[in-house]
Structure 1
């Protein structure tokens, strides 16, 4: 099945051993043991696993044993997760959340259910009437099932429960100040702890450093502005508190791998852009 904006493929895990990134959203389905690397942060996986990635995240799947990986790829032009957020609340749950794990284990029943929808998608004839609607329906079912299963892993809806109370405070402070304050020492001072103590606690909880979290917040907000609004790159640079467009572009390319203008060209401007004027 070939489509510029929507496809399902099956590859060996060797295919994803090297860094992979493109303009699509991805849903990976596989059974095995190994590591997922997302923007250079490692996560272990065991057994039947589903894994989600957003456009131009740098990802790898590393497994000692070769495993089959099913991948559903979709572009925002085919299905905008922001536009459809009322139907399937996956944005911030399955995609685009820097605090939540990007993957989780599935029961055999749910794994087979999602795999069956992958197969149904491959059987759809794109030349038939309403094929686009049928494909979107299958995608929504996969997203809904995945959201349901991930919600089961977050029964209290609290992202942080820890004896180190500053963790939640750190989250709140980053969300409040990340546009103007990108240095770790600023947050450590407000929390009355050393930068080293804060780094160790955050790293233990989220598998990434506080500096990585701050960077990811900036990049995530930048991606939203580029994709979900019609603002110029210069305007976005100003809103994100960069000295000028050049410094913003350099920062963005360092962490994403492409320039902001190229990101906009590849991902397009969302159909919900007019809602963000």
Structure 2
């Protein structure tokens, strides 16, 4: 992978993010160990996938329907639990990762590039509205029985069209994906209409802090700087963050830097010095100490593990 191509395409995402050491029987979608081809679209499950996945950025969207089991997903500055009868959306704009997937986790997934659904009669402006849900809200929706049945049936119909490939199947798949996006937006509208207790000032403050960290972690590193942007004292910000998340505010800043470091080490050909420079560390040794504090290994050891895993996957 070249140094300027660190957004994973669909086939690379599957190889790096979903393929496990042992081939698993595939009960839904493409056979990702033998049928995977580069392209604008794929439908598959997480069967045989990892229980924890490194942070990645992609050049495509993902619609992920949870059929059973659970796990923890981080998308941008949102971290949430994935549970049965929920659907979440991954956008190319966001760094994302997952952890603590249960052994029985079953996800149905549709991966597609914007260009794939652009080849329909739907205007691009409308498509963008369907795809880009509000960044201030976690991109997950817990579906009621009717919504879940409708969306599950669409996944199954898309899978059947794509697997059997009758005449005009790609055109049908595109239209069905657009229909699926409308169903997801219906669920979004329904969720907005539910009576909810307004978030208090402390929770609003913490949400604003995490959003700022997501936007400025490369250049703003201290709690005091974020407190100044939020017009509160550093002490007050730290207390509210600790109360709401159980984490120190500085830890949240450092965790975001670490996730970016892990992403760059995992998906790019940058040297350790180049990554240290990109992340604004004064020296490579400072970066290595920082990374080892979170990962338990230094960056060079992490890269050796990555290269070993890549060779194993490429030999499948």
TM-score, structure 1 as length reference: 0.59
Structure 1 or 2: more helix by fraction: 2
Cα distance in 1, alignment partners of residues 67 and 244 from structure 2 = 25
Q: What's 1:10 paired with?
A: 45
Matched, 1:51 2:91: no
Q: Distance in 1 between matches of 2:244 and 2:126?
A: 30
Deviation string for 1:101-148 (max 9, x for gaps)?
132211122112111111111222586554333222111111111112
Query: 1:123 aligned to 2:163?
Result: no
Q: In structure 2, what is the Cα distance between the partners aligned to 1:15 and 1:191?
A: 40
Q: Is the CA contact (8 Å cut-off) linking 2:66 and 2:82 kept in structure 1? A: no
Q: Residues 37, 196 of structure 1: CA spacing in aligned structure 2 closer, same or farther, 3 A cutoff?
A: farther
Q: Determine helix, strand or coil for the equivalent of 2:83.
A: strand
Closer/same/farther in 2, CA of residues 128 and 65 from structure 1, 3 Å limit = closer
Match of 1:25 in 2: 61
The verdict on how the C-alpha distance between 1:127 and 1:46 changes in structure 2, with shifts beyond 3 A counting, is closer
Residues 204 and 102 of structure 1, relative CA distance in 2, 3 Å threshold: farther
* 1:145 correspondence with 2:183: yes
Q: CA-to-partner distance for each residue in 1:144-169, whole Å, 9 max, x for gaps?
A: 1111212222239x9x7323497399
* Residue 250 (structure 1) aligned with residue 278 (structure 2): yes
Question: How far apart are the structure 2 equivalents of 1:88 and 1:48?
Answer: 25
- 2:117 is matched with 79
Structure number with larger C-alpha Rg: 2
Instruction: Check 1:74–1:206 CA distance in 2 against 1; reply closer, same or farther (3 A cut).
Output: farther
The one of 97, 100, 110 aligned to 1:62: 100
- CA–CA distance in 1 between the matches of 2:246 and 2:183? 26
2:133 counterpart residue number: 93
Deviations 1:188-233 (A, max 9, x none): 13544332432453576689958659x69xx9xxxxxxxxxxxxxx
* CA contact 1:16–1:62 (8 Å) conserved in 2: no
Instruction: Indicate if the aligned counterparts of 2:218 and 2:279 stay in contact, CA closer than 8 A.
Output: no
For residues 14-46 of structure 1, the C-alpha deviation after alignment (integer angstroms, 9 at most, x for no partner) is 614131544432111113453323269642233
Mark the CA change 1:139 to 1:114 in structure 2 (over 3 Å): closer, same or farther.
same
RMSD, matched Cα: 4.5
Distance 2:43 2:50 in 1: 15
List gaps (5 residues or longer) in structure 1. 220-245, 255-277
Instruction: Give 2:172's match in structure 1, choosing from 116, 122, 134.
Output: 134
Instruction: Judge conservation of contact 2:71–2:105 (CA < 8 Å) in 1.
Output: no
Q: Whole-Å Cα distance in 2 between the matches of residues 137 and 89 of structure 1?
A: 16
Q: 2:225 aligns with which of 186, 194, 198?
A: 186
Distance, in Å, in 1 between the alignment partners of 2:68 and 2:246 is 21
Deviation at 1:85, TM superposition (A): 3.8
Q: Report the secondary structure of 1:17's partner residue.
A: coil
Selected match of 1:112 from 146, 149, 155: 149
Distance 2:49 2:66 in 1: 13
